[in-house]
Structure 1
């Protein structure tokens, strides 16, 4: 069984996605029905929706849409990671509102396309500290040179679970292993940071192979261990690197030498523990 901790859904008639026009292959509707048909064949039993960087005015509407979809019969949606703006003075009120929505299990503020100093602002950091004691997680989507800034955020609230998306976004296509290796190892020293095995097919060459991914996977596993690793599809972004089936197949190949108990933690057990998912 697999729990997908990083599913994006795109409904262009319901929400505005300003960034889609710059990525034509993703400028389409990617619905829950479209995802579920393939996901169920692959053993995916539940999924967390990951915010899709909608227009700021649509953040609450995105959460409402996911709530609606989760109520459909046999829905795979088991929770949501909502968008947020910790740099805003309105964040405390937003946090209070979100805490009344049981479907929401955490937050993400996309940082890898934002100025490097965004997360260093006093208000941003104060609001990250507000997550302490809430049980809500915070996903860190950063480039390799920003991983140190992500580590600094994790240091602000030791009881908050931070999730490092996409293995820290290594530039696999251009051979960026050396620039990524040390920062990844450094952030792994924080016991409240979990790494997400996701996204990496999209960072490889168009004709990537398992051998291209393996050094990155091996370093992630050595740094975090399988006790602090969860799996995510990054659908539909994974369609840029072969698609959902190709990524699930590559995941099983990467985990082929791992004991069953540890493999189960990566594919479902750790997600159940961190987000309280029952599937």
Structure 2
């Protein structure tokens, strides 16, 4: 059974998504009901909603919207990873509100869509330190050449739990690169970082990838971090760019066929449940 740590829901009637206009095939509604129907057939029993870079004024409305979905009978949603703006002076007040709401399990600030120096700003770093000692995690979504930026933040905040999304966003269709390989090896040395095995089908050639195309990226990530520091995510609906949810779940099972039952259980659900005390 699978714990999905990375579900995106897009409902354009309820929230604003400025980035969607240039998102091609993703510029559409991707509703919870569509995800849940397929997920339940695949053995996905739990999921966390991952923020979808909504319009800044909709950040807290997004959390409320997802919370409403979680209250539906039989809902798979167990919590949310909320958007945040650590670069803003209002972050401490926002953090106080979030800490009072146990539905929110962590934060993400997508860093590959902003200037590289954003995460180097003093206010950003000061605010990130406020997560130390809280129950909140922080997701990194960075490109391979930005992994060094993530490493710097992890080193500055040894008491904050970080999660590296999508195996560090490798350009799968271009093959292994030294920048990605060495970056994964280095960031994995930080005990306060785990890696999310997710998203990579969207970075492969949609017409030609196979399990063997993905294998080097998954195996290097797991070997570097170890089975106790890996979690699984669907990255739905982005995974539809590379075949869809069922295809990604099938590929996951094929990629982990040689692992022990205990190792698979840690990747599939146990590590996530421990990470967020679920």
Shorter-chain-normalised TM-score: which range?
Answer: over 0.9
Residue 222 of structure 2 aligns with which residue? Answer: 221
Residue 48 in 1 paired to residue 42 in 2?
no
Q: Is the 8 A contact 2:82 2:108 kept in 1?
A: yes
Residue 258 of structure 2 aligns with which residue? Answer: 257
Using the size of structure 2 for normalisation, the TM-score is: 0.98
Aligned length: 277
Q: Is the 8 A contact 1:167 1:220 kept in 2?
A: yes
1:20: how far off?
0.7
SS for the counterpart of 1:38 is helix
Counterparts of residues 1-279 of structure 1 (less than 5 Å): 1-206=1-206, 207-277=208-278
1:176: how far off?
4.3
SS for the counterpart of 2:16 is coil
Residue by residue, what CA displacement relative to the aligned partner does 1:223-277 show, whole Å, maximum 9, x if unpaired?
A: 0011100000000000000000000000001100001001100000000000122
1:177: how far off?
2.5
Using the size of structure 1 for normalisation, the TM-score is: 0.98
Q: Is the 8 A contact 2:176 2:217 kept in 1?
A: no
Moved more, 74-83 or 173-182: 173-182
In 1, Cα distance between equivalents of 2:273 and 2:222: 19
1:174: how far off?
1.7
**Structure 1 residues 176 and 21: alpha-carbon distance in aligned structure 2, compared to 1, 3 A threshold:** farther
Q: Is the 8 A contact 1:177 1:216 kept in 2?
A: no
In 1, Cα distance between equivalents of 2:220 and 2:226: 10
In 2, Cα distance between equivalents of 1:276 and 1:5: 13
Q: Is the 8 A contact 2:15 2:58 kept in 1?
A: yes
In 2, Cα distance between equivalents of 1:98 and 1:39: 28
Q: Is the 8 A contact 2:188 2:224 kept in 1?
A: yes
In 2, Cα distance between equivalents of 1:40 and 1:260: 21
SS for the counterpart of 2:80 is strand
Q: RMSD of aligned C-alpha atoms?
A: 0.8
Q: Is the 8 A contact 1:49 1:79 kept in 2?
A: yes
Q: Is the 8 A contact 1:128 1:156 kept in 2?
A: no
In 2, Cα distance between equivalents of 1:176 and 1:265: 26
1:178: how far off?
2.0
Flag structure 1 segments of 5+ consecutive residues without an equivalent.
none
1:160: how far off?
1.6
Q: Is the 8 A contact 1:5 1:47 kept in 2?
A: yes
